[in-house]
Structure 1
C-alpha cells in the first residue's frame, strides 16, 4: 500500500462520514436528541465536501440513507465546482439522477422546493429537475404533491400538460368548473360531489373525501384496497383486521423486509404467537427475496443481535433498532443457512422479541465466537454496559487469539454517536459502519474492510469509482449538462 499518512487520515474521515450518512437521519434517538444529530451531520457534510470534493459526490453510489442523499444532492447543485473535470461531472450527474429516481417522491419535491426557495437557479439544477419530472406521472403528482410540483415546474420552467397546469395554478372554483379528459383529475373533480368517485383516486387523496362523505371505514378500506401502495396496505392491515374484513389487505411476504419487521414488532406478543406460521413464513420469504442471488453463499456467520432496552429507539423511530436486528437475523439466516443468532437477552424465539434488559455485548460476542464462525456480524447501537471490558476483550481476541484474522468481525450500528461524529464503536479492533436498511447489509460488510487498516485511500477511491460505474452501467439515467 503506497498511501501516505495524510491519505490514511482522509480514508478514515471518509469512512466516518459514510458510517454517519448511512445511519443518521437527524432525528431523535434513544441516546441523543435531534438537536445534537443535526449539527454533527452538518459538520460532516461541510468537512467532506470541503476536503474531499471529488469523493463527496461518489458517496451517492453507497447506500447512504435518503436524508443524507438529499443533502448531498443539494450541496452538489447549490455549490457546483467549476474545476471539476468532465468525467467527474458526468458521473456525478448520473449518480444524482439515479439516486433521485430511487427516493420517495415527497422527499424529492421537498428538495426541489428548498432549491427554489434558495433561488438555486443554475443550468444544472434546472436540467436535473426537468429530467426527473419527465419520468413522473404528473397527474398523480398534481393530486398528491401539488405544492412541490408547482414549485419545481415554475423554478425549472417545465412546460406542463394543459389540464395539469390548470389543476395546479387555478383556484378551487376554476379547477372544478369544467370536466377533465385526464381520468385521475376528472375523478378528483367528481369526488367532490359523489362518494363513488373517490375509489378512482390514490388512497391518501381518497381518504379525505371518504371523511367528507362519511363513508364507513370498513367499506372504504375494502373498496380502496386496489388503489393502495404496498406500504399503505401493510400500514392499514391491522386496522382492517380489527374491522373484520374477510381478507387481509396485503400479502405480508411481498413487503420489504424492514417494513415487515416493524409491522411484526408493532403487534402484541400474544397476536404474534397466534399468527406464528403466517408471520414466520412471510419473514422467511422477504429475507430470501432481499438476499437474492447471494442466498446461501456466505460462510458460517454468527449474528450478535441487540434487544436491550435501548433498542426501543425513540418516539419518532420507535422500535427501529430492534426491527433492524430482527431483519438482520432473518437475512443472515438466508445468506448463511448454517449460521447462528445470539440475542443479548438469550432469547431463543426472535418472533417475540421486545426491547428489555441491559446491553451486555461482551459475553454474547464471546458466545458467538465459541461456535467457530468464519464471520461475526454485530448489530447494536454499541452502548455496552461495561465499555472498557468489551474493548479490551476484543483487542485481546484480535491480537492474541486470532492475529491472522481467520474470523472477520464487523459492527453495524443503527444510530449516530454525536460525541464522536460516528456510530459508537465497540473497540479499535472491530470496524464499525452505520446501518439503515438491512437490504444493503452485504455491501456494508464489504465496505467495512476499509476500516480494518489494511486498505487505504487509493483502494477506497477505486472501490467507490467501481461501485459508481457499475450502478450507472446497469441503469444509466438521462444526464444533466
Structure 2
C-alpha cells in the first residue's frame, strides 16, 4: 500500500470502530432503526471483504455486543475466504469474545447460525467448546432452553448427560429429575411455591402462568435476582452502595458496565427523588467511577468536560435518555481520572448539579468550548452527539482558531466522544477536523477511546494502527 492508501485504510477502520461502538441498530433521536441497521450492515460487509484481519481485530477493541455478534457471524459465514492463519486467529478471538457476551446473546447467535445454515467445522468446534465450557449446563438449559437445544443440534454435540438431554428434548416426559434445578422447573408447572427457587427470568414466566400479582412475585423472588436484574427491572429503590457490594461478587469474564447502567437507572428516577437522595446517589456513582478508574485515578491532570444535556440527549423511545446517561457516567469517571480538585464539568444547560440534569434546550457547543478553554486544562473531553446548533458551526470554528493561532503545538488534548451514530454519514458526527471524534457506547470505554483518538486525528497511519491493534489483540487474548 502507498501512503494515501494507508491513510484511507486507517480512516476506514476508525469509521467502522466508531459505528460499531456507538450504534446498536436501534432508533436514535435523528435516525430510524431501519436507517441505523442499513448503515451498519453496509459497514460490516465493507470491512469483511476489504480488511478481514482488521475486521476480526475489532473484536478486541470493545465494540458493543450487537456489532460483535454481527462480526462473529460474518467471519463464520465466510470461512472459505480465510487463510489457515486467519482462521486460527479469528477462532481464538471469537472464542474469547463469546466468553464476554451475555449467554442469551450467545444462544441467539446459535439460533441465527442454524437458521442461516452456517455449519462449517470451525463453527461447530466453537459452539461445542462454548457449551462444554459452561460451569452449570443445567442452569443454562433451564434459562435458555431453546437456544441451548439449537446449539446442540446445530453442532451435533452429544451432551453426555442423559437427564439433561431428556430435559432439552422432552422436558415433561421425564419424572422425577435427580438434578435439583430440573426437578424444580418440572414442579413449577404444578405448584406456585416451586417457582421461587428458579432464576428470576424463568420464574417470571411461571408467575404469569399461575396468575401471581407482580408486586407479590417481586417481593418473594428478590433474593434470587442478580444485581443487574434488580437494576434493570426498576421495581426496587435504587441502592447504589448495596449494588456496589453485590456487583463486587461478580468476577466472571463478562464486563458489565455498572457505572453506565446505574446512570441510566438514576436518570429514570423523578427529579424530586433525585434531589432528596442527592448525597446517597452521588456517593454511589463516585464509588463505581473510582472502581472503574482503578490505577489511572488522579493521573489525567487538569481535566475539563463539556457535557451534553440538550434536548437531543433524550435519545429515542427505545434508548430513553441513553446519551444523557453516558454523559452523566463520563462526568463521574472523568472526575475520578482527573488530578484531585482539578476537574471542571460544563453542562450544556449551565446546570451545576449533575444529579438533577435532564434533556432540554439547544446545544451551544461552541460557547461551552470557549468556557472550557478558559479553564486552562491539560485535556478537554466533549461528550455530545455533535449537533452544534446554537449557533450552528461555532464549535468547529472555535477549535480551528484555537489550533491555528493559540495552540499550534497541541498542548491541550481535545477529544470528542459521541454516543450517537449518524446513519447518513456512516460515522459519528464530528465537531471539527481539528479534534478527533470517536464513538462511545458505555462510559467504561472512555479510557481506551481516548487512546484510540490519536489515530482519528490522522497523525498516525495504518502501520501504527496495525501495530496498535496487534498489541490490543495480544493483550486481549493474553490476559485471559
TM range (shorter): over 0.9
Structure 1 gap segments, 5+ residues each: 242-246, 476-481
Q: Distance in 2 between matches of 1:225 and 1:159?
A: 36
Whether 2:243 is the aligned partner of 1:252: answer: yes
* CA shift for structure 1 position 83: 4.9
Match of 1:371 in 2: 375
Aligned in 2, Cα 1:342/1:77: closer, same or farther, shift over 3 Å? same
* CA shift for structure 1 position 220: 2.9
Match of 1:244 in 2: none
Q: Distance in 2 between matches of 1:93 and 1:387?
A: 47
* CA shift for structure 1 position 389: 2.4
Match of 1:283 in 2: 285
Match of 1:35 in 2: 34
Aligned in 2, Cα 1:448/1:82: closer, same or farther, shift over 3 Å? same
* CA shift for structure 1 position 326: 0.1
Q: Distance in 2 between matches of 1:195 and 1:183?
A: 16
Whether 2:266 is the aligned partner of 1:270: answer: no
Q: Deviations over 1:321-346 (max 9, x none)?
A: 00000000000001113211110001
Query: Any conservation in 1 of the 2:415–2:435 contact (CA below 8 Å)?
Result: yes
Q: Deviations over 1:47-99 (max 9, x none)?
A: 1111111211001110100111001100110102555252x433222211111
Query: Any conservation in 2 of the 1:240–1:249 contact (CA below 8 Å)?
Result: no
Q: Distance in 2 between matches of 1:113 and 1:215?
A: 32
Which of 117, 132, 135 lines up with 1:134 in the alignment? 132
TM-score under structure 1 normalisation? 0.93
Aligned in 2, Cα 1:248/1:355: closer, same or farther, shift over 3 Å? closer
Query: Any conservation in 2 of the 1:344–1:360 contact (CA below 8 Å)?
Result: yes
Instruction: Summarize the alignment of residues 216-255 of structure 1 with structure 2, pairs less than 5 Å apart.
Output: 216-236=213-233, 238-241=234-237, 251-254=242-245
Instruction: Summarize the alignment of residues 63-142 of structure 1 with structure 2, pairs less than 5 Å apart.
Output: 63-86=62-85, 88-136=86-134, 137-142=136-141
* CA shift for structure 1 position 208: 2.4
Query: Any conservation in 1 of the 2:207–2:217 contact (CA below 8 Å)?
Result: yes
Query: Any conservation in 1 of the 2:240–2:262 contact (CA below 8 Å)?
Result: no
Q: Deviations over 1:174-213 (max 9, x none)?
A: 15xx111111111111112222211210001112223333
Q: Distance in 1 between matches of 2:165 and 2:479?
A: 35
* CA shift for structure 1 position 158: 1.2
* CA shift for structure 1 position 111: 1.2
Instruction: Summarize the alignment of residues 309-324 of structure 1 with structure 2, pairs less than 5 Å apart.
Output: 309-324=311-326
* CA shift for structure 1 position 278: 1.6
Q: Distance in 2 between matches of 1:30 and 1:432?
A: 19
Q: Distance in 2 between matches of 1:401 and 1:250?
A: 45
Match of 2:423 in 1: 418
Q: Deviations over 1:428-473 (max 9, x none)?
A: 1111110001111100000000011210000000000000001111
Q: Distance in 1 between matches of 2:367 and 2:2?
A: 37
DSSP 3-state at the match of 1:174: coil
Aligned in 2, Cα 1:82/1:30: closer, same or farther, shift over 3 Å? closer
Higher relative contact order structure (alpha carbons within 8 Å, sequence separation ≥ 6): 1
Which of 412, 419, 422 lines up with 1:407 in the alignment? 412
Match of 2:169 in 1: 169
Count of aligned residue pairs for this structure pair: 464
Match of 2:457 in 1: 452
* CA shift for structure 1 position 402: 0.6
Q: Distance in 2 between matches of 1:382 and 1:199?
A: 47
